[in-house]
Structure 1
Amino acid sequence: MLTLLKNAQLYAPTSMGLCHLLLADRRIAAVVSAEREAPALGMAVDEIDLEGRRVIPGLVDPLVHFIGGGGEGGFGTRTAELTLDDALASGVTTLVGALGTDALTRTPANLLGKARELAAGGLTTYCYTGSYQLPPVTLTGSVGSDILFIPEFIGVGEVAISDHRGSQPSPFELARLASEARTAGMLAGKSGIVFIHTGDAPSHLEPLRAASRDSAIPLAQFLPTHINRTAELFEDGLRFAREGGRIDFTTSTTAELLAGGEVPASEAVARALHARVEPSRITLSSDANASLPRFDAERRFVGLEPGRLSSPFEVLGECIDEHGIAWETAIGVASTHAADALGLSTKGRLAPGHDADLLILAEGEWSIDEVWALGRRVYRRD
Structure 2
Amino acid sequence: MQLLIKGADVFAPEALGRKDILISNGKILAIEENINESGLIGPVEVIDGQGKLAIPGLVDTHQHFIGGGGEGGYRTRTPELTLTQQTLNGVTTALGLLGTDSLSRHVESLYAKTKGFNEEGITAVMITGAYHLPSPTITGSVQRDIAFIDPVIGVKLAVADHRGPFVTRDELGHLVSEVRVASLIANKKGIITVHTGAGKACLDQVFDILEVSDYQPERFVPTHINRPDTWESAVRLAKMGAYIDGTGILHDDGGAGKITCADATRMSIEEGIESRFTFSSDAGGSMPKWNENRTRIIGMGVGTPDSLLIEVRRGVEKGLTLSQMLAPVTINAAHQIGLEDRKGQLLPGFDGDVVLLDQDSLQLTDTIAKGQWMVASGEAIVKGTFE
The equivalent position to 2:328 in structure 1, one of 324, 333, 345, is 333
Q: Deviations over 1:254-311 (max 9, x none)?
A: 79x945321122112212222x232111001111111111222432122221111111
TM-score w.r.t. the length of structure 2 is 0.92
Partner of 1:188: 186
Q: Is 1:98 aligned to residue 93 of structure 2?
A: no
- Mapped contact 1:241–1:277 kept (Cα < 8 A): no
- Mapped contact 1:32–1:38 kept (Cα < 8 A): no
For 2:190 and 2:313, the matched residues in 1 are separated by: 31
For 2:255 and 2:358, the matched residues in 1 are separated by: 33
- Mapped contact 2:63–2:281 kept (Cα < 8 A): yes
Partner of 2:355: 359
For 1:363 and 1:23, the matched residues in 2 are separated by: 21
Partner of 1:3: 3
Q: Is 1:342 aligned to residue 340 of structure 2?
A: no
Partner of 2:382: none
Partner of 2:195: 197
For 2:247 and 2:64, the matched residues in 1 are separated by: 13
Task: Return 5+ residue gaps in structure 2 as ranges.
Answer: 380-387
The equivalent position to 1:264 in structure 2, one of 260, 263, 284, is 260
Partner of 1:319: 315
The equivalent position to 1:251 in structure 2, one of 239, 248, 251, is 248
Which amino acid in structure 1 is aligned with residue 375 of structure 2? Y
For 1:374 and 1:53, the matched residues in 2 are separated by: 20
Length, aligned pairs only:
376
For 1:156 and 1:254, the matched residues in 2 are separated by: 30
Partner of 1:378: 374
- Mapped contact 2:250–2:310 kept (Cα < 8 A): no
Note the C-alpha offset of 1:172: 2.8
Taking a change above 3 Å as real, the CA distance of residues 54 and 145 of structure 1, as seen in their structure-2 partners, is: same
- Mapped contact 1:219–1:244 kept (Cα < 8 A): yes
For 2:230 and 2:344, the matched residues in 1 are separated by: 28
- Mapped contact 2:334–2:343 kept (Cα < 8 A): yes
Worse-matched range after superposition: 121-130 or 301-310: 301-310
Equivalences for residues 211-226 of structure 1 within 5 A: 211-226=209-224
For 2:354 and 2:44, the matched residues in 1 are separated by: 19
Partner of 2:117: 118
Note the C-alpha offset of 1:124: 0.6
- 2:259 partner SS: coil
- Mapped contact 2:248–2:308 kept (Cα < 8 A): yes
For 1:170 and 1:347, the matched residues in 2 are separated by: 36
Task: Return 5+ residue gaps in structure 1 as ranges.
Answer: none
For 1:170 and 1:143, the matched residues in 2 are separated by: 17
Partner of 2:385: none
- Mapped contact 1:253–1:292 kept (Cα < 8 A): no
> What value does the CA root-mean-square deviation take over the aligned residues?
1.8
- Mapped contact 1:292–1:306 kept (Cα < 8 A): yes
Q: Deviations over 1:287-336 (max 9, x none)?
A: 111111122243212222111111111111111222x2222222111111
For 2:250 and 2:205, the matched residues in 1 are separated by: 25
Partner of 1:83: 82
- Mapped contact 1:144–1:184 kept (Cα < 8 A): yes
Partner of 1:145: 144
- 2:46 partner SS: strand
**Sequence identity of aligned pairs in percent?**
36
- 1:355 partner SS: coil
Partner of 1:40: 39
Q: Is 1:239 aligned to residue 202 of structure 2?
A: no
Q: Deviations over 1:327-376 (max 9, x none)?
A: 22221111110101110021100101110111011242121000100001
- 1:351 partner SS: coil
